[in-house]
Each structure stands twice: as C-alpha cells, then as structure tokens.
Amino acid sequence: MAVYTDISEDQLRAFLKPYGVGELLSYKGIAEGVENSNFAVHTRGGQFILTLYEKRVRREDLPYFLGLMEHLATKGISCPLPVRRADGEMLGELAGRPAAMVTFLEGIWMRRPTPVHCAGVGAGMAAMHLAGADFGIRRRNGLTLQDWRPLWKDCLDAHPAMEAGLADETEALLAHLERGWPGGLPEGNIHADLFPDNVFFLGDELSGIIDFYFACTDALAYDVAVALNAWCFERDHSFNITKGKALLDAYHAVRPLTAPEIEALPTLAAGAALRFMLTRLYDWVTTPEGSLVVKKDPDEYVRKMRFHQTIGSASEYGLDTALRATG
C-alpha cells in the first residue's frame, strides 16, 4: 500500500486548474502500487487516477511512459489515457513531485486468475505489442541482462550472509544467461511488469492494462516470458500448463511468435524469473524493518528460476506446436 505524499486540497486545486476537469469533488489515497503515490480523484469532469511520481521513477522517463499510454489508448488499447493540460503538457508538479492524471478504468484485478484470464492477458498483450509498434520514443530496459550483475552484487554487499546454495545457484544462472542471452528477436514497446494486479477484467473480458512505469523497448517475447511467470504458476509455485497454454496460444493467435522467439522462450523465462528474484531480494535485504513498503518473498522466484532451467522447449509451457509460425 502506498501513499508516500499527502496533498492538501489547495495544492490539488491549483494543480488541477490547467487540466480543465472542472470542480474538485473528492480525492482519496489508494492503497495499491508500491512505487508511487496514487489518488482516486473525482471532479465534475469525471473520475481520474492522480499519480505522484516518487523517487524510484526517473523524471526523464515520464514522457515515454505517458506518451506510450496515450499512443496505446488512442489505438484502442484499454489503458489509462493521460489528461492533457491547456498548455498541451501531460506532466505537472504537485507537492514537489512530478505528477500526472489519467482516466479511471473500471475493472477488477484477478487475485486468482483462471485459464480464461490467462488467455485474456495473452491476447491483450499481443494487441498491445502490435499497437505499440509505431510509437516514436524508445526507452532502454533498465532491468535486463546487463543490469542483473550489478544488482546481484548490491544484494551480496547488503547481505554478506547470503545462503551459500542460493548464491551459487544465482551465480550459475547469471553466468549461463550472460553467455547465451538471445539477441536479434523482434523488438517493440513492452510493459515488462504485466502481473495480475496490473490487468483489470470485467467478468471474463480484459477491461484495462495499467501501470506502465517499467515499460521499455525490448524483445517482445520477454514480455511474454514475464507474463508466463506472473500468471501461470499456482500458489504452491507449481507450473499450470493449462494456463501456460491459454496464455501462449491466445498471444500467438493475435501476434504469431517467430521460430527464434519460441526457441528463446525458456531462456527468456529463466531470465525474467531471475529479474524478479533479484529485485525482490534487493528489497528484502535493503528495506528497513517498519517501512510501509510491502516486501515480497524472493523465494517464489527462486523456484521459478529452477523450473525454467528444466524446460527443453516452449511446447512444455503448453504452446500449441501446430499453431507455430515460421520466423
């Protein structure tokens, strides 16, 4: 839960003025998200989410994030549409922080996604990839292969008493990925954090994709690998091939995966598992006790790292080989 910065009604009224959304009716801090401060804002003009960007988000990245949301929304992807001010800007400043307002999306995120939801996110992600292809700004993925070793070193420095087994295992996987990380795959603008809490549904229909603050320009199949990790494992950390099949086949039906993408999927999935293991581990060992940040156990992703190293081909994730495209 996260409201790091409280704002007064006077501050908010002054901030809202150039957005032309009418009289302020109410605002309440939302206990969701861990990076920024979010408020549900009602005005005469509608319902919005106001985000104050806290220190983990770099100000120079905001035009990319907001621009991508606007690009996707105007292409019919259900994602928040940033509101533009009278001067054309999307970004304002509130309580000393960069801040933006986006439209409120109805929908519920699935605490317990079923295969239907996995198919929904697969198809929605593929549509998002297609819609994002002609977006004009690029942003490097700040949490990809080259960033993992420094992050791993920071974890070890912060926690020298790291369990030896985990340290050896991580080191081995990292070295393996450094040797064989797939290159030359189709690139585009990816979400890079497409977890269930970032995807809304109304009934079984996907109604919104939110939280683009890890979005970047990278291999499209890496986004698929992140989602596979986030949606297709059970609470006991076992892989559910029915969910894997639902997600991959639905993606493939909208944007056919190329042969090199299919071949790379186990490696990308192991890398994605390592990426979330490392950021969770980093937060685990560096967040002081008593912080408002909810720590997530890295162990879940240690198990996923292990699982993906046992996978020989994408068909073991459930991808229908009869549907395979040739790349």
Query: CB of residue 103 vs a second copy: minimum separation in angstroms?
Result: 13
Is the CB of 291 or the CB of 313 nearer to a second copy? 291
Structure tokens at 203: 């009934």
Q: Which of 18, 29, 45, 260 binds a second copy (CB under 8 A)?
A: 29
Region from 70-78, 167-175, 196-204, 250-258 binding a second copy, contact rule CB under 8 A: 196-204
Closest CA to 72 of 12, 143, 154, 127: 127
Signed CA dihedral, 2, 110, 142, 213: sign only: negative
Closest CA to 51 of 23, 79, 30, 69: 30
Yes or no: say if 221 and 186 are a contact pair by the CB < 8 Å rule: yes
Structure tokens at 273: 């598992």
Q: Which of 242, 286, 291, 310 binds a second copy (CB under 8 A)?
A: 291
Region from 4-12, 73-81, 269-277, 309-317 binding a second copy, contact rule CB under 8 A: 4-12
Residue 203 CB contacts under 8 Å (≥ 6 apart), including other chains: none
Contact status: 137 vs a second copy (CB under 8 A)? no
Distances (CA, A) of 289 to 3, 23, 284: 18, 41, 10
Spatial distance between the Cα atoms of 302 and 281, rounded to a whole number of angstroms:
10
Q: Which of 26, 238, 286, 310 binds a second copy (CB under 8 A)?
A: 26
Structure tokens at 225: 């690998």
Yes or no: say if 231 and 113 are a contact pair by the CB < 8 Å rule: yes
Contact status: 65 vs a second copy (CB under 8 A)? no
Spatial distance between the Cα atoms of 196 and 182, rounded to a whole number of angstroms:
26
Contact status: 96 vs a second copy (CB under 8 A)? no
Query: CB of residue 69 vs a second copy: minimum separation in angstroms?
Result: 18
Distances (CA, A) of 133 to 130, 247, 251: 5, 21, 16
Structure tokens at 182: 């797939």
Question: What letter does residue 242 receive in the DSSP assignment?
Answer: H
Is the CB of 44 or the CB of 55 nearer to a second copy? 44
Contact status: 17 vs a second copy (CB under 8 A)? no
* Number of residues near a second copy (by CB under 8 A): 34
Contact status: 28 vs a second copy (CB under 8 A)? yes
Contact status: 226 vs a second copy (CB under 8 A)? no
Structure tokens at 32: 């969701």
Q: Which of 158, 172, 175, 202 binds a second copy (CB under 8 A)?
A: 202
Contact status: 289 vs a second copy (CB under 8 A)? yes
Contact status: 254 vs a second copy (CB under 8 A)? no
Contact status: 278 vs a second copy (CB under 8 A)? no
Query: CB of residue 213 vs a second copy: minimum separation in angstroms?
Result: 18
Q: Which of 8, 161, 179, 312 binds a second copy (CB under 8 A)?
A: 8
First and final C-alpha spacing in the chain = 43
Is the CB of 113 or the CB of 266 nearer to a second copy? 113
Q: Which residues bind a second copy (CB under 8 A)?
A: 1-3, 6, 8-10, 23-32, 40, 42, 105-112, 200, 202-203, 289-292
